[in-house]
Chain A
């Protein structure tokens, strides 16, 4: 991915509404994980998540009318993408172009979203009618027109962020909506950067967004044994699971020429990616870490950097016993005794599922800018099985300005991204 630079960042999650505010919270050791407030958790087995404080849909979406046709996950995606676009100055630049130049600019600008898909809440719009008809299909079908929001299907589309970010900023180039669980966000960046590197577009917006904190989803994650009681403690001997967060992360990537032509701020660059599929089933991961190890090796190779050039690793670190263990083994196997400082953000912002890889890459850029590897203050004792993994409670200095970011998702998908700070 030669010459793909980053010119804008946007992020929102429980810890803040900008990359700077979120990293501030992380460095101050503040976790956004707290008792869930959006539904009654009095009788709830796992009542902790990182929700967006003072969530105001109309303010975040920037357009009250849109709320009829989009969901919470789309609102946060639209917000983060808009922040990244404005930070890059892309919209202001386009507005200054003449008709034909503007049309060309739009067609040469791509848009890639990592989306959590539908989940469950959007289907509850049918509950009142199901209740009225006792679930009898003929009556349900007959009363449909009077009982349900006619825009239901549109509101439920997983690709709504593509649609509305595209309309807002007039983006008309190559695009994708990736619904690949928690590697979605990272794949949105990979596909955006590859599109730019391969001359399909001159610039592209990548955004990962998800709001997985809904009762049914939280309950199923708990049922699958994936959730912690109250603290997400990555790589710790006492870790007992993950906890959910919500939000979005977005980046604007472009060719060096495109950034230079409009004197855009260059915040860093995307160097390469690597991928693996473990193919063990929906939830299972391989014990030996061969999946993430394959992704890491391929990413270093694609980026053309050696393991020694990696200055910090932002791990997936979701806090589940099996994922953290295999991820740690993969890092130790691929880096040997030369592993740079390893950190992660989920202890503070929760697991944003489809948004995780996107927001964590955004935060990696912000950390590189500040020249700091944030610590993991909830770390008590590193699991003795991988005691040499260089994680720490306190912030450290990165070994250089190149970061490796890791993501893993259901279906045994692994992705690794190599980025360089400015």
Chain B
């Protein structure tokens, strides 16, 4: 077998509740300033959960100079365009007439549908029980509005990003719930490795901080209802954790064939070295208490990266702050790292920026990249009460200086899809099997 093509991360971009770019997000995550707060985007006063971590002070028109494109963009699409712009500018390379066919696009997209104003307007105008009256639908404003159609397409974000950057190769939009962002980046890694493309813009975007999205999570009882202490509500691995805090945003990376990146003198943040992608096939929402499913994803990511558990100096956990996930993920980490578990620093940055759902894995991949670059681990905020089921070497209190040889990012979704990504420091060569 021929050696795997190596893949470099050469550009990063973020729009998150912790900041509207990489530098500000990273500073907030390092300090562990948790962003949970009362919801301001819409009137959530009647909901059982009234808190979330919102992107703040984001003015799409100030950062995206294409008004026509923004006309078609919903809130999450605007985050995606801004974060992707940052990543492309940061990489210092973009598709040209000559290279466009060798550029790919792989995005984790949230659940698409009508936004609340359209849904509620249509429900009042044409609702017929849990169905729509076709005759009244035809006459309704929503039924006549082509923009509702365009914005609700699962490929709308892909189309906007493709157009913005003139990408001409393999493009794909994936959705495996909370694993979407990680799987999108894993897909791009595979596409470069198998030679389908040389470079990719890969990431995820989502915003479910709206009445429909929040309703779905409230109905499931998945979100924390600590409305009186919003900045303490997301507390992954803490014994008193009681649900996640919804976040929103986008994260993008530019991935390049290693040799091409080297040849153009690019700054390489890290090597995207391994992808582990498994299916739990257990239950639709529940994760197996033993960690089965996530265990395979983590092991496969490490094997794919030619790394062993002892190479890992940081795990950015899925760590949603739900009772079940954090216990099951801890069990999975104990299985993968064995006795070494006490040595491996772990944090969930969802403690600070909330759960970005389809964007989470992509944003957290960027966090791993930054940890490698700076040799600093971000805080697992709000941790106060140890849970024996989650006995981990958590980064608590303040950031930790730690040079990172290999970092891992976990993302596990409803429906049982698990994504683990492994990142290597660009100068770390240990354990690598020679071809």
- A interface with B by C-beta (< 8 Å): 39-45, 69, 106-107, 111, 115-128, 130-131, 134-135, 137-145, 148-154, 156-160, 162-164, 166-167, 170-181, 187, 191, 194, 198-200, 215-216, 219-220, 223-224, 275-283, 294, 409-413
Do A44 and B138 touch (CB < 8 A)? yes
Nearest chain B residue, comparing its CB with the CB of A163: B415
Q: A176-B174, A216-B143 are in contact. Are A158 and B154 (CB under 8 A)?
A: yes
Do B154 and A130 touch (CB < 8 A)? no
Q: In the complex, given contacts A127-B128, A180-B171, what are 16 additional A-B residue pairs having Cβ atoms less than 8 angstroms apart?
A: A107-B278, A123-B113, A124-B132, A127-B131, A128-B127, A135-B124, A148-B215, A163-B414, A167-B281, A172-B280, A176-B187, A177-B417, A223-B144, A279-B165, A279-B166, A413-B171
Residues of B within 8 A of A118 (CB): 111-113, 152, 154
Selected from B214, B216, B217, B279, the residue in CB contact (under 8 A) with A111 is B279
Which residues 362-412 in B have Cβ within 8 Å of A in the complex? none
Do B159 and A412 touch (CB < 8 A)? yes
Do A177 and B159 touch (CB < 8 A)? no
Do B113 and A154 touch (CB < 8 A)? no
**In the bound complex, how far is the Cα of B113 from the Cα of A119, in angstroms?**
6
- Stretch from B20-28, B43-51, B261-269 contacting the other chain: B43-51
- Stretch from B114-122, B327-335, B343-351 contacting the other chain: B114-122
Counting chain A CB atoms within 10 Å of each CB, which of B155, B177, B214, B277 scores highest?
B155
Q: A128-B127, A175-B279, A215-B134 are in contact. Are A140 and B158 (CB under 8 A)?
A: no
**Chain A min CB distance to B413 (Å):** 7
Do A162 and B416 touch (CB < 8 A)? yes
Residues of A within 8 A of B48 (CB): 141, 144-145
Nearest chain B residue, comparing its CB with the CB of A129: B123
Residues of A within 8 A of B42 (CB): 137
Do B171 and A277 touch (CB < 8 A)? yes
Residues of A within 8 A of B414 (CB): 153-154, 157, 159, 163
Selected from A111, A144, A178, the residue in CB contact (under 8 A) with B174 is A178
Residues of B within 8 A of A219 (CB): 137-138, 143
Q: List 23 A-B residue pairs with CB atoms under 8 Å apart, sorted by A's residue number.
A: A45-B138, A126-B215, A137-B46, A138-B43, A141-B47, A141-B48, A144-B218, A154-B220, A156-B111, A158-B175, A167-B416, A177-B417, A180-B172, A181-B154, A216-B132, A216-B137, A275-B196, A277-B170, A278-B168, A279-B163, A280-B163, A282-B155, A413-B172
**In the bound complex, how far is the Cα of B121 from the Cα of A127, in angstroms?**
10
Residues of A within 8 A of B46 (CB): 137-144
Nearest chain B residue, comparing its CB with the CB of A282: B159
**In the bound complex, how far is the Cα of B171 from the Cα of A411, in angstroms?**
9
Nearest chain A residue, comparing its CB with the CB of B116: A137
**In the bound complex, how far is the Cα of B159 from the Cα of A410, in angstroms?**
8
Number of chain B interface residues as a range:
35 or more
Residues of B within 8 A of A69 (CB): 284
**In the bound complex, how far is the Cα of B132 from the Cα of A128, in angstroms?**
11
Residues of A within 8 A of B283 (CB): 167
**In the bound complex, how far is the Cα of B131 from the Cα of A73, in angstroms?**
16
**In the bound complex, how far is the Cα of B284 from the Cα of A69, in angstroms?**
9
Do B137 and A135 touch (CB < 8 A)? no
Selected from B43, B116, B282, the residue in CB contact (under 8 A) with A167 is B282
Residues of B within 8 A of A111 (CB): 279
Do B132 and A157 touch (CB < 8 A)? no
Do A275 and B170 touch (CB < 8 A)? yes
Residues of A within 8 A of B296 (CB): 107, 172
Selected from A124, A164, A173, A223, the residue in CB contact (under 8 A) with B131 is A124
Say whether B33 faces chain A, with CB atoms less than 8 Å apart: no
Residues of A within 8 A of B162 (CB): 277, 279, 411-412
Residues of B within 8 A of A282 (CB): 72, 150, 153, 155-156, 159-160
Residues of A within 8 A of B109 (CB): 179
Nearest chain B residue, comparing its CB with the CB of A127: B127
**In the bound complex, how far is the Cα of B284 from the Cα of A407, in angstroms?**
31
Q: A141-B46, A411-B158 are in contact. Are A162 and B278 (CB under 8 A)?
A: no
Do A171 and B212 touch (CB < 8 A)? no
Do B175 and A177 touch (CB < 8 A)? yes
**Interface flags, B122-142, vs A, CB<8A=1, else 0:** 111001111110110110000
**In the bound complex, how far is the Cα of B156 from the Cα of A142, in angstroms?**
32
**Chain A min CB distance to B391 (Å):** 27
Do B415 and A172 touch (CB < 8 A)? no
Say whether B148 faces chain A, with CB atoms less than 8 Å apart: yes
**In the bound complex, how far is the Cα of B100 from the Cα of A160, in angstroms?**
34
Do B149 and A124 touch (CB < 8 A)? no
**In the bound complex, how far is the Cα of B294 from the Cα of A172, in angstroms?**
11
Residues of A within 8 A of B152 (CB): 118-120
**In the bound complex, how far is the Cα of B147 from the Cα of A224, in angstroms?**
10
Do B135 and A40 touch (CB < 8 A)? yes
Do A171 and B281 touch (CB < 8 A)? yes
